[in-house]
Amino acid sequence: MAKQITKLCSKCKQTLSVIMFSKHKGQKDGLQCQCKKCFLVAYKRYKNSIRGTLNRKYHSMKYRCGDPSHPSYQNYGGRGIKCLFTSPEEFIDYVTDKLKVDPRELETDRIDNNGHYEPGNIRFVTHRKNSSNRRKKLPDERLITKKGEEVYRCRHHDFECLTTEQTAQKLNISIRQVNKRLACLRANSPQLFPILSQEQANVWSQWFDGGLTCVEIAAGRGVTPRSIQAQLQRIKKKMNYDEKVNSRAHKTVSFDIGVDETKIKQKF
């Protein structure tokens, strides 16, 4: 039997070399009916259609709910959330017939964040609204990571009071990583900030804890009272002191290794 070297494309009706067709096990000759060019055009058209978009969203739901290797499995399948749509066709029919929305440029969201992907608990929203619909973290969830704690202890004036460069050198990380870990810690635990320099911490301690005046502090340091007053103004602005002084005195405190967020908040 002669080896097949050409094939007729069912779309463009051109007789082309077999190398212009992708393999397909379901066909008798082992090749797709359409040439690669026609198949790519059809695939792009389907991919950008409503049915193609919903098909991808369905498989994404199944993947993050049923495959432990998915990066977000712990937030979905790990919490017991399941995709209760039995097939892509059922999901597509539900969205097109019941919800009647165009899912393109939108994200799949669960109305009840602790519920399953199922009829009645599905909606399509913008990325901004989807991000706001997140479950609240439990009180015992640890918001201060070990890496953030290491950087904090190196930088904070209650501990080693190192500069950013010295912290990066000590922990063998980049300056960018130091700033990133501090920013993450500030977002989760703003009461642990600000971080003062050694000189600022000494001036603040003499004025706030020691009760010294600007003149007395300046005399001990050999500078003008005006410079001490300006430095205190910068520290107050950094600590939002004027906003907090009406309700209670604000003091920065340290924390013990392993203390979670709820215990730290009790110190303020």
Q: Quick: pLDDT tens for 37-89.
A: 888 888 888 888 999 999 999 999 999 999 988 888 888 988 889 999 999 99
Q: How confident is the model at residue 251 (pLDDT cuts 50, 70, 90)?
A: very low
Please tell me whether residues 222 and 185 are part of one structural domain.
no
pLDDT 10s digits, 121-135: 999 999 888 887 776
Residue 260 lies in a domain: no
Q: Which residue has the higher pLDDT, 265 or 231?
A: 231
Q: Which residue has the higher pLDDT, 213 or 242?
A: 213
Q: How far apart are CA 62 and CA 23, in angstroms?
A: 27
Length of the chain: 268
Please tell me whether residues 190 and 201 are part of one structural domain.
no
pLDDT of residue 136: 59
Average pLDDT over residues 112-125: 91
Residue 201 lies in a domain: yes
Residue 164 lies in a domain: yes
Q: How far apart are CA 95 and CA 214, in angstroms?
A: 69
pLDDT of residue 105: 87
Q: How confident is the model at residue 184 (pLDDT cuts 50, 70, 90)?
A: confident
Last residue of a domain, one of 172, 195, 218: 195
pLDDT 10s digits, 25-42: 888 888 888 888 888 888
pLDDT of residue 246: 58
Q: What's the structural domain count of the chain?
A: 3
**What long-range pairs does 253-260 form, CB within 8 A, spacing at least 24?**
253/158, 254/156, 254/158, 254/159, 255/144, 255/192, 257/149, 259/144, 260/140, 260/141, 260/142, 260/143, 260/144
Q: Residue 148 belongs to what domain range?
A: 144-195
Asked if residue 181 has pLDDT above 70, the reply is yes
pLDDT of residue 262: 41
Residue 4 lies in a domain: no
Please tell me whether residues 165 and 239 are part of one structural domain.
no
Q: Where are the beta strands (DSSP E) in the chain?
A: 6-8, 15-17, 107-110, 122-125
Q: Which residue has the higher pLDDT, 254 or 18?
A: 18
Residue 236, domain CATH: 1.10.10
Average pLDDT over residues 240-245: 68
Residue 6 lies in a domain: no
Please tell me whether residues 184 and 155 are part of one structural domain.
yes
Residue 183 lies in a domain: yes
pLDDT of residue 172: 93
Please tell me whether residues 153 and 163 are part of one structural domain.
yes
Please tell me whether residues 225 and 170 are part of one structural domain.
no
Residue 259 lies in a domain: no
Asked if residue 101 has pLDDT above 70, the reply is yes
**Helix, strand, coil percent content, the chain, rounded in steps of 5:** 50, 5, 45
Average pLDDT over residues 129-146: 66
Average pLDDT over residues 148-171: 90
Asked if residue 261 has pLDDT above 60, the reply is no
Q: How far apart are CA 186 and CA 246, in angstroms?
A: 23
> Percent of the chain scored above 70 by pLDDT?
85
Of 207, 151, 214, give the one whose Cα is nearest residue 178: 151
Q: How far apart are CA 6 and CA 21, in angstroms?
A: 10
pTM of the model: 0.45
